[in-house]
C-alpha cells in the first residue's frame, strides 16, 4: 500500500515515515512538503492513503484535498492537525478522518485501519471554515491536475456542463459551476451574464456594441463577456464603486 505523507516540516514527515515503516506491512511511503507537491505526487503515484497536514504555506491541506478529491479515483485522506477544539469539532461533525499532532502510533494504526474515502462534500464543507480562501482552481484531465491561480483569472464562461477560465494567453476547463464559484468568491468575481463571471480587479471598462449590447473589457485578454440587460445596472453600480 502506498501512503503519502504531506507536511511542510521535515521532522514531522520523518517521524510519520518512521511510524509507518515500523508497521512491518510492506507500506511504501511517499512524501510532499506542501499542498502543491501533494497534488503532483498524488497524480503520479496514486497513493491509497494521504496523511495531510492542514496548516502549510503556499497551499494548505484543505485546499489540496479539494483538488485531490475532484480527480479520478481519489485516495482516503486523514487530516493531521495540532490546532484548536473548533477544528477538531468540525472534522468530527463532518465524519472526516483526522489525527492530532504529535501523532501517536496507536492512533495512526487505528486511523489507517478505519480509512474511508472522504467525500467532496465533506472536504468542501470543512473548507468553508478555512481562515483563507483557496488560491487555485483545478483543471483535471487524463489523470493530471493543472492548478490555475485564482488571481490570474480574468473571466469564467459557462458552456453547457463546462466552465472555461480565461487567463492572459491561456484557458482551462474547470469542473465546477459558476454558481459555486460566485458563492465562494463574492467580492472577487462578478456575475455579468447567466453564463459569465468576470474578475473585478481586472475589469478595465464597459463598451457598447453594435445593436446596443454592452460588454466588459478585461486587462490581458481580448474576450469581452457580454453583459445581460438583467445584470447591467448592478454591473455599472459595482464598477462605479471600485
pLDDT digits (tens, 9 = 90+) for 115-165: 766 777 777 777 776 667 889 999 988 889 999 999 999 999 999 888 999
Architecture of the domain made up of 2-127: 3-Layer(aba) Sandwich (3.40)
| Contact in structure between 91 and 79 (CB atoms under 8 Å) | yes
Q: What is the rounded distance in angstroms from the CA atom of residue 140 to the CA atom of residue 145?
A: 5
Mean pLDDT calculated for residue range 10-25: 92
- Written as nine digits, the cell of 142 is 487524463
More confident residue, 209 or 122: 209
- Note the CATH number of domain 136-240: 2.40.50.1020
| Contact in structure between 123 and 66 (CB atoms under 8 Å) | yes
The least confident of 12-21, 108-117, 147-156, 183-192 is 108-117
Q: What is the pLDDT of residue 122?
A: 76
The least confident of 14-18, 118-122, 161-165, 183-187 is 118-122
pLDDT of 94 higher than 70: no
Displacement of CA 21 from its chain's centroid (Å): 30
Note whether 2-127 and 136-240 share their fold: no
User: Residue 72: left (phi > 0), alpha (psi -120 to 50), or beta?
Assistant: beta
Mean pLDDT calculated for residue range 20-38: 93
Mean pLDDT calculated for residue range 101-113: 89
Q: What is the rounded distance in angstroms from the CA atom of residue 241 to the CA atom of residue 165?
A: 25
Q: What angle do CA 116, 122, 125 make, to 5 degrees?
A: 160
Q: Show me where the domains of the chain are located.
A: 2-127, 136-240
pLDDT of 77 higher than 80: yes
Amino acid at each position: 500500500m502506498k501512503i503519502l505523507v504531506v507536511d511542510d516540516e521535515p521532522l514531522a514527515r520523518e517521524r510519520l515515515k518512521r511510524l509507518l515503516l515500523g508497521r512491518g506491512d510492506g507500506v511504501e511511503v511517499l512524501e510532499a512538503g506542501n499542498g502543491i507537491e501533494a497534488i503532483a505526487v498524488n497524480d503520479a503515484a496514486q497513493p491509497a492513503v494521504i496523511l495531510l497536514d492542514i496548516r502549510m504555506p503556499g497551499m494548505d491541506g484543505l485546499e489540496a484535498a479539494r483538488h485531490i478529491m475532484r480527480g479520478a479515483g481519489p485516495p482516503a485522506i486523514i487530516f493531521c492537525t495540532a490546532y484548536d477544539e473548533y477544528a477538531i469539532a468540525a472534522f468530527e461533525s463532518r465524519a472526516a478522518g483526522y489525527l492530532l499532532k504529535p501523532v501517536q502510533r496507536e492512533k495512526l494504526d487505528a486511523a489507517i485501519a478505519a480509512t474511508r474515502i472522504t467525500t467532496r462534500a465533506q472536504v468542501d464543507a470543512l473548507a468553508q471554515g478555512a481562515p483563507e480562501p483557496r488560491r487555485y482552481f483545478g483543471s483535471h484531465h487524463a489523470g493530471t491536475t493543472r492548478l490555475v491561480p485564482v488571481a490570474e483569472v480574468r473571466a469564467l464562461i459557462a458552456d453547457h456542463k463546462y466552465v472555461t477560465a480565461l487567463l492572459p494567453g491561456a484557458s482551462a476547463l474547470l469542473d465546477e459551476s459558476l454558481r459555486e464559484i460566485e458563492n465562494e468568491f463574492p467580492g472577487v468575481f462578478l456575475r455579468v451574464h447567466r453564463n459569465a463571471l468576470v474578475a473585478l480587479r481586472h475589469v478595465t471598462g464597459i463598451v457598447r456594441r453594435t445593436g446596443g449590447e454592452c460588454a466588459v473589457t478585461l486587462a490581458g485578454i481580448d474576450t469581452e463577456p457580454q453583459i445581460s440587460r438583467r445584470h447591467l445596472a448592478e454591473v455599472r453600480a459595482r464598477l462605479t464603486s471600485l
